[in-house]
Amino acid sequence: MRKTLLALALLLGGSVAPLPVAAQATADWQAVLDAARGDTVAFNAWGGSPNINTYLEWANERLQAEYGVTLTHVKLEDTATAVSRILAEKSAGRAEGGAVDLVWINGENFAAMKEAGLLGSPFAADLPNAALLDTANPSLSADFTVPTDGLESPWGGAKLVFFADTARTGPAAAMPRSAGALLEWAKANPGLVSYPAPPDFTGTTFLKQVLIELTPDPAVLSRPVQEADFAAATAPLWAFLDALKSVSWRQGRDYPENYAAMKQLLADGELGIIFAFNPAEASSAIASGELPDTVRSFTFEAGTLGNTHFVAIPFNAANREAAMVVANFLLSPEAQARKEDPRIWGDPTVLDMAKLSEADRAAFQAIDRGVATLAPDALGPVLPEPHPSWVGRLEAEWQARYGS
């Protein structure tokens, strides 16, 4: 568009005013769409959930139909695999034509990619649907305290939620509302509480939740971990876990391998309270027959850990424009509402309802969240993630103390 207007002005011997910002943005995005058509995006993302895999198959169908872009889901067991692949390409001098066009990341993996220069130029603010984001949520602009700087685009939210089988524990309203109260509940109900052994993600999340609640100076957690701070900051955590060990499942001689194992223990009646990093998880498990319909969710009064997960484009992506089209589509109200439906995935949206059209808001309001899912305004405050450097240090210390 600009080239056409400029050529016409030159032919007429005159000048032309620059396009307004909005018009320029529209022209720029149309150029992205044109360049992307016919391309295939290698999306490296965790492949361990049938629901998520099915969702991405749907996204591929929509992208092909509307934009002529094909989305190939490269299924990963660990995102670090994709990070290692990109790092190997950089070390080999492969500055373009990389094997990864888009990667699902957050936390430690984002920090590692950013530090190593594995990400392309900022792109997130250039996506039209970025205008719909809930910018009041600080985790959209800082990933585990690390500024995103437009290098990754938000995709979905996560928040730690606890749930119990009320047929065995009593009503959810009577459940513990803090880490300290959970310990007292475990003492009164020995054997009914446990957590996955770190470095399992859900187990490490539990450590971080307790640490944030009990540490004497939470501000230290927002900075890179220092040995001079570590002992004092974590002393209340280890005291908590020591006390929990003797009254936990199998008296701490064993731990669930992962969230799936912990969920099965709840279904089998061996545990009374478990937790997940998705507010819709309990309802999804009830709907699939994995948990009884007496399970209900609850959170802690002072808040629970929450974060945002993102998609990012590597520095040498072979199909950068097509990757941008995918990232923008994943932020569309259509894709976000489908993703938030617990029958499909149940992943919380990153969009601001006030910025949506009436029809798009209605689509979110019509979602059947299930009997065990708390309303968004009942989830309580979001506690920010510690700096990613704390994760490895916490996991190593946990293994030294309890891993044997």
Q: How does pLDDT run along the chain (404 residues), one tens digit per residue?
A: 333 333 323 333 444 344 455 566 677 999 999 999 999 999 999 998 888 999 999 999 999 999 999 999 999 988 999 999 999 999 999 999 999 999 999 988 999 999 999 999 999 999 999 999 999 888 899 999 899 999 999 999 989 999 999 998 999 889 999 999 999 999 999 999 999 999 998 999 999 999 999 999 999 999 999 999 999 999 999 999 999 999 999 999 999 999 999 999 999 999 999 999 989 899 989 988 999 999 999 999 999 999 999 999 999 999 999 999 999 999 999 999 999 998 888 888 999 999 999 999 999 999 998 899 998 778 888 898 999 899 999 999 999 999 97
Q: What contacts 197, CB < 8 A, 6 or more positions away?
A: 203, 255, 256, 257, 398, 402, 403
User: Which amino acid, one-letter code, is at 56?
Assistant: L
Nearest Cα neighbor of 386 from 221, 189, 254 is 221
DSSP structure class, residue 88: H
b/e for 381-394, b at 16 or more Cβ within 10 A?
ebbbbbbbbbbebb
pLDDT score for 9: 32
pLDDT score for 239: 98
pLDDT score for 22: 58
Domain 2-156+309-369 shares a fold with domain 161-306+382-403:
yes
pLDDT score for 200: 92
Contact indicator for 43, 104 with CB cutoff of 8 Å: yes
Contact indicator for 220, 233 with CB cutoff of 8 Å: yes
Helix (H) or strand (E) run with residue 314 in it: none
Contact indicator for 314, 98 with CB cutoff of 8 Å: yes
Token pair of 106 as six digits: 């957050």
pLDDT score for 4: 30
pLDDT score for 20: 53
HSE-CB for 13 with a 13 A CA cutoff: 0
pLDDT score for 24: 66
pLDDT score for 2: 31
pLDDT score for 5: 30
Q: Is 121 left (phi over 0), alpha (psi -120 to 50) or beta?
A: beta
Pick the CATH number of 161-306+382-403 from 3.40.190.10, 3.40.30.10, 1.10.10.10, 3.90.850.10: 3.40.190.10
d(CA 165, CA 259): 16
R_g of the chain, CA atoms, integer Å: 23
d(CA 251, CA 238): 16
Token pair of 384 as six digits: 């920010």
Where do the structural domains in the chain lie, given as residue ranges? 2-156+309-369, 161-306+382-403
* Domain 2-156+309-369 falls under CATH 3.30.1300.10: no
Strand 142-143, strand 70-76: pairing: unpaired
DSSP structure class, residue 122: -
pLDDT score for 61: 98
